[in-house]
Structure 1
Amino acid sequence: MKKLVFVIILFVFLLPEASDAQCAMCRAVLESGEEQSAAKGINNGIIYLMAIPYILVGALGYFIYKALRKNSPA
């Protein structure tokens, strides 16, 4: 069980590094410019906005799991 949790946590933390998400309009505007630092900033912002809800839901699920496990008769 601990191995599975470790693999899931590792997957969750490494997945945002591999994703490079932009909408079509943002990509078109940013590719037309010479400066690539703006594109990197947009990508980091998108990843940040994407990761926060997953972290919150994961933490909520963890606390619910711990509360249910604590109250179980086993």
Structure 2
Amino acid sequence: MKRLLASGVLVLLSCTLTFAQCAMCRASVESTYSDGHYLNGSGLNTGILYLLVMPYLIVALIAYFWYRSSRKEYAQKMALWQRMKGISQ
């Protein structure tokens, strides 16, 4: 558990560096567009979109696994309740 907590803190501390890079990417794209070179800018825009999607994908995966786990636990509780109901009758 301590290892997971330490990893989480490390990830949160390193996120500030990634926020600073977006301004640099934007400045690079603006300078390449003004020079007439569009290939470099489209690659950077794709990279920015990739970075944008990742947090949402991680949250969606966590929600999916949490939902799946809770459904299994609910099914086990219902099976136990059915067995207890059958014994009491």
Give TM-score scaled by structure 1 length.
0.59
Which of the residues 56, 59, 69 maps onto 1:57?
59
- Classify the secondary structure of the residue corresponding to 2:63: helix
Identity in percent: 28
Match of 1:32 among 34, 51, 54: 34
Contact 2:32/2:41 (<8 A) preserved: yes
> How big is the shift at 1:34?
1.4
Q: Which has the higher contact order (CA 8 A, sep 6+)?
A: 1
Residue 30 of structure 1 deviates from its aligned partner by: 3.1
Larger Rg: 2
2:83: which partner in 1?
none
**Would you tell me which structure has more helix in proportion to its own residues?**
2
1:42 aligns with 2:44: yes
- Alignment root-mean-square deviation, CA: 2.0
Greater mean alpha carbon deviation, residues 59-68 or residues 29-38:
29-38
**1:5 equivalent in structure 2:** none
Structure 1: which amino acid aligns with 2:56? Answer: Y
Number of residue pairs matched?
53
What is the TM-score of this pair, normalised by structure 2?
0.50
Q: Which residue of 1 aligns with 2:69?
A: 67
